Amino acid sequence: MFRIYLGVTFLYSQQLLPGMKCNVCGGKIEETFLVKPIGTYVKDSKGKKHLICSQCQKKLPSKEQVLEKL
């Protein structure tokens, strides 16, 4: 049971840790103690995902405004 738990944690943090940066301001995405990034993904018209930090989300409340800045 413990081994399964460790494996899941390892995969989860590996997926999220390597230099998560905001695609608008280039700032580092803050992480909670659960290693979950505080940010959102915005999809453009081509379906490409862009990571946006919480600060830029506040400045650019609509998806259209975010995409203009990319």
- Which of 42/53 has CB closer to Zn ion? 53
d(CA 4, CA 26): 35
d(CA 13, CA 36): 8
As measured in angstroms, the least distance from the Cβ of 17 to Zn ion is 18
- Which of 3/26 has CB closer to Zn ion? 26
- Amino acid at residue number 70: L
Q: Which residues bind Zn ion (CB under 5 A)?
A: 22, 24-25, 27, 53, 56
Backbone phi, psi, residue 17, to 5°: -70, -45
- Which of 17/21 has CB closer to Zn ion? 21
